[in-house]
Amino acid sequence: MSTNRTFTMIKPDAVANGHIGSIINDFTNAGFKIIALKYTKLTDETAGQFYAVHAERPFYKDLVSFMSSGPIVAAILEKDNAIEDFRKLIGATNPAEAAEGTIRQKYAKSIDANAVHGSDSDENAEIEGNFFFKADERF
């Protein structure tokens, strides 16, 4: 069953390049409601835990060090059909392949530093949201 929620991070590259405001604006303009929001920084350890599903992939180590290289913005967002609509809004993993007007096409420069994360299933949205937010941090 769809929960109508997704989890996102604005990644260190987009934060460092000054895109927090524009990206949150894109979220809300696309109809996503902010349920939880946090400006924080992952450590090597917490980034490793968050991306544990990718532990066997060749880019895992670089991904973990990139994701802990600077602050990020974590958020839970709500909208009908949230997972699919959000993945459409952010675009393909590789910004060179991301559709015109998508967040990754506008703000990302490479497949690793690709501006934003978006959950790929309801189940992962739940797990990822719980990684960052307690019940009393959601509104």
Could you list the active site residues?
117
Q: Does 74 bind ligand UDP (CB under 6 A)?
A: no
Q: What is the DSSP string of 22-87?
A: HHHHHHHHTTPEEEEEEEE---HHHHHHHTGGGTTSTTHHHHHHHHTSS-EEEEEEE-TTHHHHHH
- Report the nearest approach of ligand UDP to the CB of residue 98 (Å): 10
Q: Does 5 bind ligand UDP (CB under 6 A)?
A: no
Q: Does 122 bind ligand UDP (CB under 6 A)?
A: no
6 torsion bin: left (phi>0), alpha (psi -120 to 50), beta (else): beta
Nearer to ligand UDP by C-beta: 37 or 67?
67
Contact region for ligand UDP (CB under 6 A) — 13-21, 32-40, 77-85, 109-117? 109-117
Under 8 Å between Cβ of 56 and 76:
no
Name the residues that contact ligand UDP, by CB under 6 A: 59, 63, 93, 111-112, 114, 117, 120
